[in-house]
């Protein structure tokens, strides 16, 4: 996928992350009796979003590195939507 | 040598190593303001990773986090979420800030803002607001260090002496080596903190309850109110969803706006290093999980510490661990305090000189460095006096500071991305947002839905910034291009 797409995915992911950990969505993930790998579900929920952020940002950076390499190869020297 | 003596020796050795690392770090940096404040813009990924992580995770996280989990239960989970949410936009903003720093020679946050929006009043306002937010934040760190040393020495070294000892050392290496000392000591301390948090966070639940799952099952059985969001408030009553949700949002908005963290963008060797630091940041954030497990491990413990913030050293001292290991754990807690406190002291002094003095009375490079060193001592003394007062929680103090700091975000976003923003708009927005935030901090009973004062400030800040900017004359196109075309 191109850098532009990954950039949109990263923005969307973190907006969803913000929505997921505040009221009212978090109130739906709030059953104290549910444990996930030994942790309360709310804690595992937050940890899951954190790990997802690591993956999304890593893929975004990979896409960026790839695009810079391609831009270097074709001599244009520019990255789409640059100025990050 | 008895247990307390051995623990004290371990802590003293740790402090000596930290001092040595800090003093040696300064040998590499140039003797200029840029060397003292921005490390000659030469930090690599390792140092940037730890300086970011260890600066964000302070005594607030290492002592306040377990304290909140212990006393307020699930309310502490807000701390787990906001760091990454706040850091993610830095992937885009950080390299832009660094590029402008290189282009115009900026070393502080306000210099960038005032570069785009020329105004001595704005520079002074940023310096004053930064100082107002920093003093409580340094206070947290000093108090944290004092708490640990008092607890592990069984009160033989009281809080006031412990805080003075730890921060005396911090001041020596910050005075000598500037941000280079902050970077390398944070790397040493960051490794220490992560290892100790994970070891202790897994060990204590196993030793006391037979595992993490069994621990939560027992808490659920006896204190179910602690495991349901939004948790409890400071008085043990249910916290509100409004307060919980806005604590996350205000902290996420403010986290990269802390001047001591923002300024680290100027220290990176390249933009790639800033981006990689952001990508790796969640690995640092996950270390809050074992930190919370430590706090929850204390919930059903038959004895209680005097204050919730003491729960970590309280449990360690009662866990029948060898004294050497206890000493290392306590050194980890001290690392958390000192790794943030040094960056704060250095940041506060840099901001006051560069933004509060230099625009009004230009100083030579040498005079700036001298004044920064004097201010490290002044800010340290102010925070030290505050740290000796009891009656507040570490997390509450930090939350209050975020009310002011998150007002910097709209101004910074406008400086970097909004062509139509004007000096008057930014100044009015910043003033209005800060006044509202301070008002609700002073009169918390008036907060609608218990919302965080920083968010309430932003509700006023944003329309004021937009309305005043759009109502005034646009800035010169060429001037704006210098900031937007990076």
ipTM of the complex: 0.89
Does residue B413 sit in the same domain as residue B429?
yes
Name the residue in chain B with its Cα closest to that of A49: B81
The minimal CB distance from B213 to the residues A35, A51, A57 is found for A35
Does residue B452 sit in the same domain as residue B386?
no
Which pLDDT band holds residue A82 (cuts at 50, 70, 90)? very low
Residue A59 lies in a domain: yes
Residue A45 lies in a domain: yes
Average pLDDT value for residue range A54-68: 93
Q: Residue A41: in which H helix or E strand, if any?
A: helix A41-73
Report the number of distinct structural domains present in chain B.
2
Does residue B169 sit in the same domain as residue B102?
yes
Q: Verify whether the Cβ–Cβ distance A30 to B228 is below 8 Å.
A: yes
What is the predicted pLDDT for the residue at B145? 87
- Domain extent for B422: 406-486
Does residue B456 sit in the same domain as residue B320?
no
- Substitution target in B84, B481, B486 with the highest count of A β-carbons within 10 Å is B84
Which of B362, B380, B401 finishes a domain? B401
Report the number of distinct structural domains present in chain A.
1
Token pair of B203 as six digits: 């060990």
Residue A83 lies in a domain: no
Q: Are the C-beta atoms of B394 and B143 separated by less than 8 Å?
A: yes
What is the predicted pLDDT for the residue at B391? 59
- Substitution target in A37, A38, A55, A68 with the highest count of B β-carbons within 10 Å is A38
What is the predicted pLDDT for the residue at A84? 37
Does residue B359 sit in the same domain as residue B419?
no
Q: Which of residues 92-131 of B touch A (CB under 8 A)?
A: 92, 95-96
What is the predicted pLDDT for the residue at B337? 82
Token pair of A73 as six digits: 């190869």
Does residue B415 sit in the same domain as residue B293?
no
Residue A44 lies in a domain: yes
Residue A84 lies in a domain: no
- Domain extent for A34: 3-72
Does residue B55 sit in the same domain as residue B74?
yes
Which of B343, B375, B401 finishes a domain? B401
Low-confidence ranges of chain B (pLDDT < 50): none
Does residue B218 sit in the same domain as residue B292?
yes
Average pLDDT value for residue range A42-71: 93
Residue A40 lies in a domain: yes
Does residue B32 sit in the same domain as residue B106?
yes
pLDDT at A83 over 70: no
Does residue B380 sit in the same domain as residue B476?
no
Q: Are the C-beta atoms of B145 and B59 separated by less than 8 Å?
A: yes
Residues written for chain A: 84
Does residue B343 sit in the same domain as residue B444?
no
Which pLDDT band holds residue A74 (cuts at 50, 70, 90)? low
Residue A58 lies in a domain: yes
Token pair of B61 as six digits: 């996280």
Does residue B390 sit in the same domain as residue B422?
no
Q: Considering just the CA atoms, what is the radius of gyration of chain B in Å?
A: 22
What is the predicted pLDDT for the residue at B89? 94
Which of B347, B379, B401 finishes a domain? B401
B299 vs B316: CA distance, rounded Å: 14
CATH (domain of B226): 1.20.1730.10
**Distance (Å) from the C-alpha of residue B203 to the closest C-alpha of chain A?**
14
The minimal CB distance from B77 to the residues A17, A24, A46 is found for A46
């Amino acid at each position: 996928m191109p850098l532009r797409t990954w950039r949109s995915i990263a923005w969307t992911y973190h907006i969803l992350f913000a929505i997921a950990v505040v009221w009212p969505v978090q109130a739906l993930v709030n059953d104290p009796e549910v444990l996930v790998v030994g942790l309360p579900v709310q804690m595992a929920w937050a940890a899951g979003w954190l790990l997802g952020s690591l993956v999304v940002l890593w893929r975004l950076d990979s896409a960026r590195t790839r695009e810079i390499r391609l831009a270097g190869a074709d001599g244009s020297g520019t990255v789409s939507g640059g100025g990050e | 040598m008895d247990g307390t003596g051995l623990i004290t020796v371990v802590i003293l050795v740790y402090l000596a190593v930290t001092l040595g690392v800090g003093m040696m770090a300064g040998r590499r940096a140039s003797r200029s303001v840029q060397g003292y404040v921005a490390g000659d813009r030469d930090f690599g990924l390792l140092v940037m990773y730890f300086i970011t992580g260890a600066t964000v995770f302070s005594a607030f996280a290492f002592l306040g986090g377990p304290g909140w989990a212990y006393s307020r239960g699930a309310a502490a989970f807000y701390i787990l979420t906001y760091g990454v949410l706040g850091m993610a936009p830095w992937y885009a903003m950080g390299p832009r800030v660094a590029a402008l720093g290189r282009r115009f020679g900026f070393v502080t946050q306000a210099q960038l803002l005032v570069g785009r929006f020329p105004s001595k009043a704005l520079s002074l306002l940023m310096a004053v607001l930064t100082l107002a937010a920093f003093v409580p934040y340094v206070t947290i760190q000093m108090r944290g260090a004092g708490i640990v040393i008092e607890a592990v020495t069984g009160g033989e070294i009281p809080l006031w002496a412990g805080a003075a000892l730890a921060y005396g050392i911090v001041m020596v290496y910050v005075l000598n080596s500037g941000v280079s000392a902050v970077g390398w000591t944070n790397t040493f301390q960051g490794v220490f903190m992560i290892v100790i948090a994970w070891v202790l966070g897994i060990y204590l639940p196993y030793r006391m309850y037979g595992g993490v799952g069994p621990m939560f099952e027992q808490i659920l059985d006896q204190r179910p109110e602690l495991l349901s969001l939004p948790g409890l408030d400071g008085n043990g009553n249910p916290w509100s969803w409004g307060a919980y949700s806005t604590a996350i949002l205000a902290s996420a908005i403010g986290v990269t706006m802390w001047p001591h963290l923002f300024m680290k963008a100027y220290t990176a060797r390249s933009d790639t290093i800033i981006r990689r630091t952001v990508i790796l940041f969640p690995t640092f954030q996950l270390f809050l999980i074992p930190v919370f497990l430590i706090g929850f491990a204390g919930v059903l413990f038959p004895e209680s510490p005097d204050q919730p913030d003491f729960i970590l050293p309280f449990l360690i001292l009662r866990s029948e661990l060898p004294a050497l290991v206890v000493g290392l754990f306590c050194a980890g807690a001290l690392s958390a305090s000192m790794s943030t406190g040094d960056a704060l002291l250095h940041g506060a002094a840099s901001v006051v000189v560069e933004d509060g003095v230099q625009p009004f009375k230009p100083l030579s490079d040498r005079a700036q460095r001298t004044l920064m060193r004097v201010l490290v001592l002044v800010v340290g003394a102010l925070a030290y006096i505050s740290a000796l007062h009891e009656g507040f929680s570490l997390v509450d103090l930090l939350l209050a500071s975020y009310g002011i700091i998150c007002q910097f975000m709209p101004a910074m976003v406008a400086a970097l991305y909004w062509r139509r923003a004007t000096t008057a708009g930014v100044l009015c927005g910043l003033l209005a947002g800060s006044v509202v935030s301070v008002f609700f901090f002073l009169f918390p009973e008036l907060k609608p839905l218990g919302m965080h004062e920083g968010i309430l400030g932003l509700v006023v800040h944003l329309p004021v910034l937009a309305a005043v900017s759009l109502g005034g004359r646009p800035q010169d196109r060429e001037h704006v291009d210098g900031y937007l075309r990076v």
